[in-house]
Chains A and B, each alone.
Chain A
């Protein structure tokens, strides 16, 4: 009996160590910026916020693969390229950010504690300084990465003080609180702060849900007071530096390299398809490439000031 217990204990320990856990890749959209949006995919314990009327909330992990998380991060970050704002999955980056310029967005399958919605957030909580999170309930979004990303951007918009973009008739009567881009049925555009799921969604300048007498310019509101985020510096000329990366080993499915700085990179094939992307840190780095990526590939890197590219053969 003792031996059996000992055996079970050893097996449990080995399983705990060996069974790989889904890990969120550490991604940053714009590292120089201090204002931060932290995307939480690994589950969270939330207490002491306005969401905790019924006590502590234990949010399950989103259950998304690292590649799906990377894609969602990319889709979200794309909507904030205009702003001096870093969208990160790194908790350490969030903790370093100014307390009144940060928010976390928790991605979790279910929000039964709140109701059957795709997400919820407190308007303006980005500057509250008390770590009130925003929520995206992935189960209500069919676990579709693009739906999840657009829902997250919508909630982030709320935390940055934005109200819904609404539609009013010529008498100022609200037709719909969430505009889906109906003003022009031939348009394929919809407001991110309306219904951002079925058309190409973007920030808009329109009448918010607070009333037709108001005008909400989404981008100006995000960049301005009280968020005080501002816009990104426009890099007029990126210095070409093809020698910032030294390829050490180039094997099937795997590239080992030395980087002379911290860069964002992407690996593309000759048809322009992105095979993988992420960050390179100063020193030794390893890039894994999935099967089916044979032929000539191009590794591109950039840190906003320097950029370069190299061809890789026979991966």
Chain B
């Protein structure tokens, strides 16, 4: 019985160690203080909105602003730069990508230079989230 317990404990320890190792070796996710889920529909609406933008991206998260720049790279990548009035001085940079298989995905950053915090759009399990993180992890010197 004692031997069985020892083997089980040893096995559990090895398993834990391996799981921990996997965790630290994975691609570094960013530490964040806040996370807001955004539907892909809301993101898509941004690309069809007029220059004066007013869209509720999530409950309690309304984006008001003005499109400063639109760039288009042959339909595969479209980028918007929006002056965000609801976050004075902030800029939302958002891109929409379409791969060869027709799959659409997005990347975005909401920043104000020299601020402590910024927001980054991340995709996890086919869901999009704006995470609030330290800006030094988004813009660095």
Q: How close is A228's CB to chain B, nearest CB, in angstroms?
A: 12
- Chain B contact-residue range equals 20 to 34
Interface bits A189-216 vs B (CB < 8 Å: 1, else 0): 0000000000000000000111101111
When A53-B112, A210-B28, A211-B31 are in contact, do A122 and B138 touch as well, CB less than 8 Å?
Answer: yes
Q: A255 — which chain B residues lie within 8 A by C-beta? A: none
Q: Give the interface centre of A129, A177, A216, A221 by most chain B CB atoms within 10 Å.
A: A129
Q: How close is B134's CB to chain A, nearest CB, in angstroms?
A: 9
Interface bits B90-133 vs A (CB < 8 Å: 1, else 0): 01010101000000000101011110000000000000000000
Q: How far is the CA of A158 from the CA of B135 in the complex (A)?
A: 13
Stretch of B9-17, B38-46, B70-78 contacting A (4+ beta carbons < 8 Å): B70-78
Q: How far is the CA of A213 from the CA of B28 in the complex (A)?
A: 9
Stretch of A2-10, A42-50, A241-249, A297-305 contacting B (4+ beta carbons < 8 Å): A42-50
Interface assignment of A70: CB less than 8 Å from any CB of chain B:
no
Contact B89 A123 (CB under 8 A): no
Q: Give the interface centre of A49, A115, A225 by most chain B CB atoms within 10 Å.
A: A49
Q: How far is the CA of A164 from the CA of B137 in the complex (A)?
A: 9
Contact A128 B79 (CB under 8 A): yes
Give the nearest-CB partner of A193 in chain B.
B140
Contact B28 A214 (CB under 8 A): yes
Give the nearest-CB partner of B107 in chain A.
A128
A interface residues, tally (CB under 8 Å): 38
Give the nearest-CB partner of B79 in chain A.
A130
Interface assignment of B87: CB less than 8 Å from any CB of chain A:
no
Interface assignment of B69: CB less than 8 Å from any CB of chain A:
yes
When A50-B93, A100-B97, A210-B30 are in contact, do A122 and B109 touch as well, CB less than 8 Å?
Answer: yes
Contact B71 A48 (CB under 8 A): yes
Q: How close is B35's CB to chain A, nearest CB, in angstroms?
A: 16
Contact B24 A213 (CB under 8 A): yes
Contact A216 B139 (CB under 8 A): no
Contact B140 A100 (CB under 8 A): no
Pick the residue among B23, B30, B73, B141 that contacts A120 (CB under 8 A).
Answer: B141
Q: Which of A114-150 contact B (CB under 8 A)?
A: 114-115, 117-123, 127-132
Q: Give the interface centre of B27, B29, B77, B95 by most chain A CB atoms within 10 Å.
A: B27
Q: B76 — which chain A residues lie within 8 A by C-beta? A: 99, 129
Cross-chain pairs A/B with CB under 8 angstroms, 28 sampled: A47-B69, A50-B93, A50-B139, A53-B91, A100-B77, A100-B97, A114-B113, A115-B114, A119-B141, A120-B139, A120-B140, A122-B109, A128-B107, A129-B73, A129-B76, A129-B79, A130-B77, A163-B137, A209-B136, A210-B28, A210-B30, A211-B31, A213-B24, A214-B24, A214-B28, A216-B28, A221-B27, A225-B27
Q: Which residues of B are at the interface with A, using a C-beta cutoff of 8 A? A: 23-25, 27-31, 68-69, 71, 73, 76-77, 79, 81, 89, 91, 93, 95, 97, 107, 109, 111-114, 136-141
Q: Which residues of A are at the interface with B, using a C-beta cutoff of 8 A? A: 47-53, 99-100, 114-115, 117-123, 127-132, 158, 163-164, 177, 208-211, 213-216, 221, 225
